[in-house]
Amino acid sequence: MAAYRVLGQSLNLQRNARAAAGLPVPALAGVAALIVTLGPRRLRWWIRDSHTAVDGPERMPVRSGDTAPDDLPDWIRVVLADTDGPWVRSLSLDGWALPDGGKNHGHGAVVRLPCDHFRPGVLVLFRDQDRPPFTDADLSLAARYGQAVGRAVTAALLYRDQVRVADALRTALRPTPMPEVAGLDLATAYRPSLEAMQMSGDIMHVELLADDGALCVVGDVCGKGIDAAVAGGRLRQSLRILRRVTEEPLEILTVLNDAAIDLGGEASTQFSTIVVGSARVTRDGSVLLRLAAGGHLPPLVVRRSGEVEAVRIGGMMLGADRAARFAEAVIWLQPGETCVVYTDGVTEARGPAGAMFGQDRLIALLSGYAAAPAAVVAERIEQSVVDWLAEPDHDDIAVLVLRARPAPVPEASGGPA
């Protein structure tokens, strides 16, 4: 029962394995070794040896190390290769080698663990020659202990695999760093919901065009969590490919819509709202924005005067209809003016008494930051929404800020003193 309690406390492989090798010593055996397969060419072992005790059993260290399968003692390789499932057997007096190079000449028992079929494990127990050999009751106890160890190790390995997959997905789905675009000040705010290991269904993508302009995309896949994040990743990958075929926002939207619809059934059709735009800086420092939209919230343009304009583009949601129609708007940003594209995680953030942050509150906020750099605007929006939230949970939040860089201030001419 004590072993079950200790082994069930953690999903950490190292912690569980150290406990598994340490608990049987010295009560059940003088030496315990756990060997677990971690991959096709990698194994790890943990050994506790009562002969290394310094100041009593509680001070006995658990040694560990990695080894290649070919470097294991032959008899352990045979046990690991056995496909008969979990079992326990006694070992006769002999020089049984262990992965650390040591040999034991006492009585032994070996337990084939009920681990993952592809990553087998083995638990080895040894007693000195002056202790009685393992009885049937001892072997039964060792087998039951092996079951607990096998479950704990398997759970830790599965958890480790899930964490690795989640890390890989999270890295692949994060927005890429903003490129440098001459004459354009770019910034983003990106805060995934608290669900599904910080993965977001919001899409934000900016990349350079052939003529030094920039392709800008902000989208919101319906739903939250891993499913939405994976769908968003597919959409972003499609964007990267389409961008090599056309740089026209409306054409990109139309092809994306075809790709989003599953002809085999509505279950796999991915619905999303999206803004696809191109930004090009002209010689006088102004920026020409062409924004094509599919059911997305209206971008907000902040003029130098502080006036904020909502650009209602229209267009149908992506994936809603194979013959969907999309719309495009042309926007000119004078130097120092800003366009903000955002997802509903901003405006629909729930604050006190369930009230939404709302577009009016966002417009009021932006009017006070007409002269601010893009990074300041993005940071201020994110912080205001987070401050507004009444609960820590929230929808995915994505904000893209595009600002035409202000004209340089001419240096004061120095006249004669």
Q: Residue 232: CA atoms inside 13 Å, Cβ hemisphere, count?
A: 31
Q: β-pairing, 87-91 with 96-97? A: unpaired
Strand partners, 107: 127
> What is the C-alpha to C-alpha distance for residues 378 and 402, in angstroms, rounded to an integer?
10
- Per-residue model confidence (pLDDT) at position 187: 96
State the average pLDDT over residues 317-325: 85
Could you give the CA distance from residue 64 to residue 314 in angstroms, rounded to a whole number? 63
The phi, psi pair for 112, rounded to 5°, reads -80, 115
- 84-93, 140-149, 157-166, 228-237, range with greatest mean pLDDT: 140-149
Q: What is the mean pLDDT of residues 328-344?
A: 96
Give backbone dihedrals phi and psi of 279, rounded to 5 degrees, phi first: -125, 125
DSSP state, 353?
Answer: G
| pLDDT tens, position by position, 348-366 | 999 988 899 999 999 999 9
pLDDT of residue 216: 94
Q: How many CA atoms lie within 13 A of 381 on its CB side?
A: 34
Statement: the pTM of the whole predicted model exceeds 0.85: no
CA atoms within 13 A of residue 328's CA, in its CB half-sphere: 15
The predicted structure's pLDDT at residue 210: 87
Give CA–CA dist 110/293, Å, rounded: 66
Residue 308 has pLDDT above 90, yes or no: yes
* Predicted confidence (pLDDT) at residue 229 exceeds the cutoff of 80: no
Residue 203: what pLDDT?
A: 87
Tell me the per-residue pLDDT of 168-226, one tens digit each, with 9 for 90 and over. 777 777 777 889 999 999 999 988 876 555 667 788 899 999 888 999 999 998 876 67
What's the mean pLDDT when you consider all of the chain?
A: 87
All residues at 6 or more sequence positions from 254 whose CB lies less than 8 Å from its CB, including other chains: 326
Q: E strand or H helix at 189, and its extent?
A: strand 184-191
**Range 273-297 average pLDDT:** 94
- Residue with token string 């059940």: 28
Mean predicted confidence (pLDDT) in 384-404: 90
Candidate from 47-61, 123-137, 290-304, 397-411 with smallest mean pLDDT: 47-61
User: Within 13 A of 336's CA, how many CA atoms are on the CB side?
Assistant: 12
* Distances from the Cα of 17 to the Cα of 103, 115, 117, 251, angstroms: 21, 13, 18, 56
Cβ distance 158 to 12 under 8 Å?
no
pLDDT digits (tens, 9 = 90+) for 28-64: 999 999 999 988 888 999 999 988 766 665 677 899 9
Residue 1 CB-half CA count within 13 A: 0
Helices (H), 224-357: 225-242, 249-260, 344-347
How far is residue 387 from each of residues 139, 207, 333, 350, measured CA to CA in Å?
61, 31, 30, 11
Question: 30: which DSSP letter?
Answer: S
Single-letter amino acid, residue 363 = I
